[in-house]
Amino acid sequence: MALIFIGGGARSGKSRKGHSLALELANGSRTVFLATAEAVDDEMTARIKKHQDERGADFDLVEEPKDLVKALSQIDSNATFLVDCLTLWLSNNIMSGGKADSQGVIDAAKKRTGSTIFISNEVGEGIVPMHPVSREFRDLSGIMNQTFAAASDEVYLTTFGIAQRIK
């Protein structure tokens, strides 16, 4: 069992790295893609379709935009899980008035016998957002990413399609 955290900017290659790492770790056993995205508009529907096409049939799909603890606790403990992405999970919970319990998700992942790979966006390297809600999201995202990185056995940072192991 390993916890792996992969972060990077938008379109940096983090999902591609997570996909290949999940298949490598599973070594032919069950792989599960846990999607946090919701098809709330045409643009997001197209993004989800693109990700599905890139994954192909390599993964079983679980769609859970908010309750990752439940999903990680109730589905095959031996499978290799790829959770994509934590940033959307955080946003989904903030927008619905819920709480994104990072430590609860980490604890649920640690109870599994299979490996869990978490994907997240790095949003703090750009300009300071003008809107208070955007600044709050940036801050909460940064704290979340630090929490997951600290709890993970391996951490990768992706830039320009290149993944660098930093832990």
Active-site positions read 51
What are the C-alpha distances in Å from 70 to residues 35, 41, 98? 13, 26, 15
Parallel/antiparallel/unpaired status of strands 154-159 and 3-8: parallel
The radius of gyration of the chain's CA atoms, rounded to the nearest angstrom, is: 15
Q: Which residues contact 117 (CB under 8 A, 6 or more apart)?
A: 4, 5, 6, 18, 21, 22, 25, 80, 81, 82, 83
Is residue 13 packed enough to be buried (19+ CB in 10 Å), middle (13-18) or exposed (0-12)?
Answer: middle
